[in-house]
Chain A
Amino acid sequence: MREITFSEALGEAMYEEMSRDPTIFTYGEDIAKQGGIFGAYKSLLGKFQGRVIDTPISEEVIFGSALGAALAGMRPVAEFHFADFLFTGMTAIANQIMKFRYMTGGQAKLHLVLRGPDGISKSAAAQHSESIETIFMHIPGIKVIVPSTPYDMKGLFKTALKSEDPVICFEHKMLYGLKGPVPDEEYYIPFGKADVKREGKDVTVVTTSRMVHESLKAAANLEKEGISVEVVDLRTLVPWDRETVINSVKKTHRLVVAHETWKRSGWSSEIAFIVQREAFDYLDAPIEKVGAYNVHIPFSPPLQDFVVPDYKDVEKAVKNVLGGI
């Protein structure tokens, strides 16, 4: 199968759906002239005249206008530039987009997508490194997709572009350049279907995004020590695939939940809660979490490395749930 990058996969999803659906248009800061700051829109350069729009630095309007445009019959794809700048327009999302359909008794179909980069990169420091997908899982009213591979990026994003509900897509900065197999034929990946990225029998690691790759690396290392790790990539957090997770835990009896965001009250807490309730009798050890220390992402490389989790933290957590071998 041919291989393309994560950002090319996003570009293809946009290209295919924009070609088919004239109501799709996309806008945000710095997207039209250089193909987006992380190159995600390179394949749209020079195409779709008037439907790829550079905007002022006005996040509240970037997000709020997506709601208005959706209500008026369009399918906007608004870019948030950096997940950190979701905060600067957060009221338009949390108070408007996420509440609108519910408050109005189900009148509206909010076919809109918010998308952009999140997560750490090389020393981008505290205001350009945020991964805050948990917040959108906590507040009701938006579907949350968190792809980890080019294949998932394309398939999930095509589904997002057909969704009748609002969707937010978090694309980890370190993944844009990642290559992976993507078929020539069109395909869609449904929301709420996890993907078992690696089968194993001793411990289940539930994860998303960049931490999928860290978990796979940990699993490969642990295999050499005779430990068999199953890596479950949730792919979407709202909705999330309870069935796949619980079935995996019923098989392995041990669970680690790994994400890049802060450990405290990260979405891992929700997964852990549901699993202990639904599969209590199957668990042979307390559930472990992997996440960042509860401080901001520091600038200096040794500090960032210390705060942000990687495969070593996954390995440690797996060993912990196995009883500290």
Chain B
Amino acid sequence: MEYDKEFLQGLYATMVRIRTFESKAEELFLQGKLPGFIHLYIGEEAIATGAMANLRKSDYITSTHRGHGHMIAKGADIKKMMAELYGKETGYCRGKGGSMHIADLSIGVLGANGEVAGGLPIAAGAGMAIKLQKKDDVVIAFFGDGASNRGAFHEALNWCSVFKLPVIFLNENNQFASTERVQETTSVANISDRAVGYNIPGVSIDGNDVIAVYETVKAAVERARSGGGPTLIEAKTYRIKGHFVGDPTLYREKSEVDEHWAQEPIGRFERELVSMGLLSEEEKKKIWDAAKSEVEEAVKFAESSPYPAPESALTDLFVDDAGYDY
């Protein structure tokens, strides 16, 4: 690999931070500490990590209901994320949004989204803004395999192609849309095949290979920055956990999950780094320990934060909130 050790360990560390956050969130949810429902990114960490390694702070992303990994990789504050999962005042959305609606405009995260494919039109709009402002920023729109069957996906691809917008459509094909397998609901073998219909480049890659993700997104980002328009990338992966925490997962066998677990992206990358002598036991431990204590800090922060005052529910609808008939 022609990358330096620091860069590679950085990718590894980001994946580890996501995994650690998600494992903790799962544990807390099962303990009944988190309200609502959460969708975990475990096993898909390479996609957010590899993609975001190409972005700068001023670039945008739109995310999904499975968005924790995207946020962390884009540089979100884990404390504020955790506090939001708890519904606390100190959370990203002051308790109004929860897991599915985390946003951080200061780092270009234009929102997770509770609506499948809901982020794609938003990404198109951010792309238009960038073009009108004559900037060379880009947008990455993350979306699932299931999302690619919604009209919003098809309309956004056509739109961004026609207007040559700097938008990368990054499909996370984790093989399932809740209980439904991708092959049962999707007309193409590769979601990237759909690019043909919109006259844009389309490519499918191994989404559990963080370097493949990094390099593929890199090419798409470079094209987008230089006015070459959108790209559709399908990153093939596998959803290791249930659709949400608590999903009975009657639609698949455990043996299938075990098979895919052997290919999960962190272990895979770790084996590569170790075999190349780019990650010592000690460095590895340091990375995991740092992630663990960062996440524990976040839990402490969240648990010691207050709930929002009930009446604060009546703020944040409008800029000029005062005096409205709520």
Instruction: Tell whether A pairs with B.
Output: yes
User: Once the chains are docked, how many angstroms separate the CA of A122 from the CA of B177?
Assistant: 23
Q: Is the CB of A33 within 8 A of B179?
A: yes
Please, which residues of chain A bring their CB within 8 A of the CB of B132? none
Q: Is the CB of A303 within 8 A of B115?
A: no
Q: Is the CB of A54 within 8 A of B179?
A: yes
A193 located at the interface, meaning its Cβ lies under 8 Å from any Cβ of chain B in the complex: no
User: Once the chains are docked, how many angstroms separate the CA of A74 from the CA of B198?
Assistant: 35
Q: Is the CB of B95 within 8 A of A84?
A: no
B88 located at the interface, meaning its Cβ lies under 8 Å from any Cβ of chain A in the complex: yes
Q: Restricting to B63-107, which residues have a CB under 8 Å from any CB of A? A: 84, 87-88, 93, 95-98, 100-101
Please, which residues of chain B bring their CB within 8 A of the CB of A294? 317, 324-326
Binds B, one of A56-64, A102-110, A144-152, A201-209: A56-64
Q: Is the CB of B116 within 8 A of A57?
A: yes
B323 located at the interface, meaning its Cβ lies under 8 Å from any Cβ of chain A in the complex: no
Total interface residues on B, using CB and 8 Å?
48
Which residue of the partner chain, among B36, B177, B178, B325, contacts A123 with CB atoms under 8 Å?
A: B36
From A58, A59, A122, A302, name the one whose CB has the most chain B CB atoms within 10 angstroms: A302
Q: Is the CB of B151 within 8 A of A293?
A: no
User: Once the chains are docked, how many angstroms separate the CA of A127 from the CA of B251?
Assistant: 25
Q: Is the CB of A293 within 8 A of B36?
A: no
B114 located at the interface, meaning its Cβ lies under 8 Å from any Cβ of chain A in the complex: yes
Please, which residues of chain A bring their CB within 8 A of the CB of B304? none
Q: Is the CB of B308 within 8 A of A300?
A: yes
Q: Closest residue to B309 on the A side, CB-wise? A: A302
Q: Is the CB of B311 within 8 A of A56?
A: no
Q: Is the CB of A57 within 8 A of B117?
A: yes
B267 located at the interface, meaning its Cβ lies under 8 Å from any Cβ of chain A in the complex: no
Q: Is the CB of A57 within 8 A of B97?
A: no
Which residue of the partner chain, among A34, A298, A299, A307, contacts B250 with CB atoms under 8 Å?
A: A34
Q: Is the CB of B116 within 8 A of A298?
A: no
Q: Is the CB of A34 within 8 A of B35?
A: no
From B114, B311, B316, B325, name the one whose CB has the most chain A CB atoms within 10 angstroms: B114
User: Once the chains are docked, how many angstroms separate the CA of A55 from the CA of B250?
Assistant: 17
Question: Beyond A58-B149, A125-B98, A294-B326, is A301–B178 a contact (Cβ under 8 Å)?
Answer: no
Q: Closest residue to A125 on the B side, CB-wise? A: B98
User: Once the chains are docked, how many angstroms separate the CA of A68 from the CA of B251?
Assistant: 30
Which residue of the partner chain, among A34, A58, A125, A301, contacts B114 with CB atoms under 8 Å?
A: A125
Which residue of the partner chain, among A29, A293, A303, A307, contacts B180 with CB atoms under 8 Å?
A: A29
**Top 4 A-B pairs, shortest CB-CB distance:** A127-B114, A300-B95, A300-B87, A299-B98
Cross-chain pairs A/B with CB under 8 angstroms, 23 sampled: A30-B180, A33-B180, A34-B250, A56-B185, A56-B186, A57-B149, A57-B177, A122-B36, A123-B98, A124-B36, A124-B37, A127-B100, A127-B114, A127-B118, A294-B325, A295-B316, A299-B93, A302-B307, A302-B309, A302-B310, A304-B313, A305-B310, A306-B313
Add 18 more A-B contacts to A56-B149, A125-B101 (CB < 8 A). A30-B178, A30-B179, A33-B179, A34-B251, A57-B146, A57-B150, A58-B150, A60-B151, A88-B115, A122-B35, A123-B35, A125-B97, A127-B113, A293-B314, A298-B95, A299-B36, A303-B95, A303-B310
